[in-house]
Amino acid sequence: MWKQDKIYLKPRARGFHLITEEIENELNDLADCRVGILHIFIQHSSASLTINENADPTVRTDFESHFNKMVPENAPYYLHTYEGSDDMPAHLKSSILGSSLSIPISNGRLELGTWQGIYLCEHRNYASGRSLVLTINGEFTN
């Protein structure tokens, strides 16, 4: 059976933000899924999703520092500069990290590892809220 919801995340500052709990709270049918897959898709081209360390917040700070060094603002070869110096780097970072995740579901729980969490990777300085499409394909008890 397929189930799909769309959720809206409040605006966040530039950086890497844990959103695992927000997603789990929005998945009303998760507890009834015996086995399945959750697919998460972000409907934006200047933010992305990834899974990584959920315990130590310095990991998220280091992610931001690394990506800012790897994909700098104001590179002289950028042509797409209409929306500010953070726009083209945001598009590049989004493409590097990706716009979707797939996570197994077992017995009503996301099968994330012990130290794994879902990140919203916000690459813009002044972003609006972000929309996610959450799709579960699985075997449900009800």
142 pLDDT tier (thresholds 50, 70, 90): confident
Give the chain's domains with CATH numbers.
2-140 (2.60.120.460)
pLDDT at 10 over 80: yes
Q: Is 28 exposed, middle or buried (0-12, 13-18, 19+ CB in 10 A)?
A: exposed
Query: How many angstroms separate the CA atoms of 60 and 142, rounded?
Result: 38
Query: How many angstroms separate the CA atoms of 32 and 87, rounded?
Result: 41
The arithmetic mean of pLDDT across residues 28-32, rounded, is 93
pLDDT at 11: 97
Query: How many angstroms separate the CA atoms of 135 and 120, rounded?
Result: 17
pLDDT tens figures, 31-62: 999 999 999 999 999 999 999 999 999 999 99
Q: Where is 129: in which H helix or E strand?
A: none
Q: CA distances (Å), 119 to each of 5, 33, 36, 40, 139, in order? A: 18, 23, 21, 11, 26
pLDDT tens figures, 80-135: 998 999 999 999 999 999 999 999 999 999 999 999 999 999 999 999 999 999 99
Query: How many angstroms separate the CA atoms of 17 and 48, rounded?
Result: 11
